[in-house]
Amino acid sequence: AVPTASSTAAPDETNSGMQIWDVQTRRLVRFIPSPKAVLSSAAWSRDGTILIAQGNALLPDRPPPTIAIVWDTGTWQRRHGEWRLSEEYVGDRKLAVSGDAHRLALPLPDGSVQVWDVETRKPIGAPVQPAELLGRDAKEVSALALSADGSLLAVGTVAGPVLVVDTAKVEFSSDADLVAVGRLDGRTQLFDRAAATALGEPLAANASRINDVSFSPDGSVLATAGLDRTGALWSLDGRRAIAVPLDGQRGVVAEAVYTSDGQLLTVAADGTVAQRDGSTGRIIRTLRLKGEALTVASDPREPLMAAGGTRSPVRIWRRDNGAPAASIDVGASWVYSVAFSPDGSVLAITVDHTGGNLESTPGPVVGVVRFIDPHTGRDIGHPISYDNGPPISLSWSPDGRLLAVATADNFLHVYDARTRRAVVDTIENVDAKYLDVAFSNDGTRVVTGTGGGAVRQWDARTGKEIPPALEGQVGDVAGVGYSPDGRMLATTAFGLSTTRLWEMPAGRPIGADLVGGR
């Protein structure tokens, strides 16, 4: 390390000390012995007043620990003696020192990275866990670097990604427009990389897996619903900090949906249907179904909302006053998905006649998609019937001409919404069930989340897969949703409670996963 152009330091492993060289004359001007350690790397402070070296102590009866030695270059005296950083040696040339020499970072034997305060020699925060932050094996820390003031730490890993860590926050570097940041306590933050401004408060509200995601109408807020009986609002625009847990409902929050005027609707296993302020998450009104509430939808044209679940009926209410508008009897069937057509004239509902037994033996009419007049609750024409697997998710194209339906037998169907005839051959996913389906904003693509963890895109007119598959999330992808401008896709996965943002249509991840419950 070279603080100025006049001198440089080089560890002398053979003679257990530090060589100080004059850069201009290339002469050795000082040798500093280290009687207790073999030194392997060194770093100067920016002003040249401090020199810190890493090494290992020579112990005859046990493996060598990792030590650091801090010198005052004005007197060449060691500060506070030998500094033992780890009881095991972590390898050569792994030391990182901030430009002001106030902070030091070093990998630990377990693969984590610790930052210390040089003056007090106390750790700053918990060790950074690259594998935990990446969601996969980081293999090994290959390089470290601290910024001049010690606020940022770059961690290079053999697995490939570089993590940029500050002592309060951990941020993932990215080639996209957003950078996702997870703090050392597990919270996650979004930043606009170009403007270097924070997009909302840290994202950490759920303590369990996340079921569903929904963008607000202006794309500035992302809502998530979790199994820990809460949901959360994530601010994505940088104008306001939200990160508010959506409490007030008991049981699993199964779905979260924004209305066209910016309200937020959430449904929970206690049967409640909550109307919320879309910015604060405050509950405006609570309505109720008889069984567990599994799905909710909002009419894009009128102040109507519909919800269904594990017991009949499916209910339709007016959002402006909470008054009942209609109800639909589904007998003993379950309803996993409801969706209004873009013009609000039709409500489509998935009806599972097996009562939640999705692994039941195929038989005649195990499920249907019904089409309902939302003002009267009456059926419009004949339903679409399924014999091999009940429907579990559906989505209208933005122009209302197409309807995509995912069924429990691992098939995706795309229909002409007027004739209710298939426009493409059924699309099979051989690995796992389709769990959620959504159209792109231009209606040309159908996006599916699967039980195998992959998100796939399909041409809505031909049924052919459009590469690339969006892979890398751990767990079943149970929720997919586009931002209003179509430039981002949010996908949410069971297991690690992660929500991932993708740049569309390129299919590139934006920043790091939004992690709940950390």
Q: pLDDT tens per residue, the chain (518 residues)?
A: 444 445 555 555 455 567 777 766 777 777 777 655 567 777 888 888 888 888 776 555 667 788 888 888 888 888 887 888 888 877 766 788 888 888 888 888 888 888 888 988 888 877 888 877 666 777 788 888 887 777 778 888 877 667 776 544 332 222 334 444 333 333 444 544 444 344 554 454 444 445 555 666 665 666 665 544 445 566 554 333 344 567 788 877 888 898 989 899 999 989 999 999 887 788 999 999 999 999 999 999 999 999 999 999 999 999 999 999 999 999 999 999 999 999 999 999 999 999 888 776 667 889 999 999 999 999 999 999 999 889 999 999 999 999 999 999 889 999 999 999 999 999 998 778 888 999 998 999 999 988 878 889 999 999 999 988 888 777 788 888 888 888 888 888 875 567 888 888 888 888 767 765 43
Beta bridge partners of 275: 265, 285
Tell whether 392 and 252 lie within a shared domain: yes
Q: In the prediction, which pLDDT does 360 show?
A: 65
Q: In the prediction, which pLDDT does 141 show?
A: 84
Tally Cβ neighbours within 10 Å of residue 188: 27
The Cβ-side half-sphere exposure at 328, using a 13 Å CA radius, reads: 30
Tell whether 349 and 488 lie within a shared domain: no
Instruction: Classify 291 as helix, strand or coil.
Output: coil
- For residues 508, 510, 515 and 518, what is the CA-based torsion angle, rounded to 10 degrees? 130
Domain assignment of residue 207, given as a range: 167-243
What CATH number is attached to the domain comprising 67? 2.130.10.10
* Count of domains for the chain: 4
Q: What are phi and psi of 295, to 5 degrees?
A: -150, 150
Task: Report the alpha-carbon distance of residue 381 to residue 317 in Å, rounded.
Answer: 23
Query: Which has the closest alpha carbon to 97: 49, 143, 56, 45?
Result: 45
What CATH number is attached to the domain comprising 474? 2.40.10
* b/e map 355-394, b = 16+ CB within 10 Å: eeebeeeeeeebbbbbbbebeebeeeeebbebeebbbbbb
Task: Report the alpha-carbon distance of residue 105 to residue 124 in Å, rounded.
Answer: 10
Cβ–Cβ under 8 Å, residues 432 and 406 = no
Task: Report the alpha-carbon distance of residue 468 to residue 479 in Å, rounded.
Answer: 18
Tell whether 333 and 346 lie within a shared domain: yes
Among the three residues 156, 190, 222, which one is the final residue of a domain in this structure? 156
Tally Cβ neighbours within 10 Å of residue 38: 20
Tell whether 187 and 84 lie within a shared domain: no
Task: Report the alpha-carbon distance of residue 283 to residue 230 in Å, rounded.
Answer: 13
415 in a domain, yes or no?
A: no
Q: In the prediction, which pLDDT does 467 show?
A: 87
90 in a domain, yes or no?
A: yes
Q: In the prediction, which pLDDT does 57 show?
A: 64
420 in a domain, yes or no?
A: no
Q: What is the 3-state secondary structure (H, E, C) of 225-257?
A: EECCCCEEEEECCCCCCCCCEECCCCCCEEEEE
Tell whether 204 and 227 lie within a shared domain: yes
Among the three residues 191, 211, 243, which one is the final residue of a domain in this structure? 243
Instruction: Classify 115 as helix, strand or coil.
Output: strand
Query: Which has the closest alpha carbon to 270: 257, 287, 282?
Result: 287
Task: Report the alpha-carbon distance of residue 491 to residue 498 in Å, rounded.
Answer: 8
Q: Write the burial class of residue 444 (CB in 10 Å: 0-12 exposed, 13-18 middle, 19+ buried).
A: middle
What is the DSSP secondary structure assignment for residue 64, as one 8-state letter? P
| pTM more than 0.85 | no
CA-based Rg of the chain, rounded to a whole angstrom? 29
416 in a domain, yes or no?
A: no
Q: In the prediction, which pLDDT does 293 show?
A: 94
Tell whether 256 and 388 lie within a shared domain: yes
Among the three residues 218, 243, 268, which one is the final residue of a domain in this structure? 243
Tell whether 385 and 252 lie within a shared domain: yes
Tell whether 24 and 131 lie within a shared domain: yes
3 in a domain, yes or no?
A: no
Q: In the prediction, which pLDDT does 233 show?
A: 62
Tell whether 229 and 267 lie within a shared domain: no
146 in a domain, yes or no?
A: yes
Distance of CA 101 to the CA centre of its chain: 34
105 in a domain, yes or no?
A: yes
162 in a domain, yes or no?
A: no
Tell whether 38 and 95 lie within a shared domain: yes
Beta bridge partners of 342: none
Q: Could you tell me how many helices (H) and strands (E) the chain has, helices first?
A: 1, 46
Tell whether 253 and 389 lie within a shared domain: yes
Q: How far is CA 460 from CA 368, 443, 451, in A?
A: 21, 7, 21
Tell whether 38 and 134 lie within a shared domain: yes
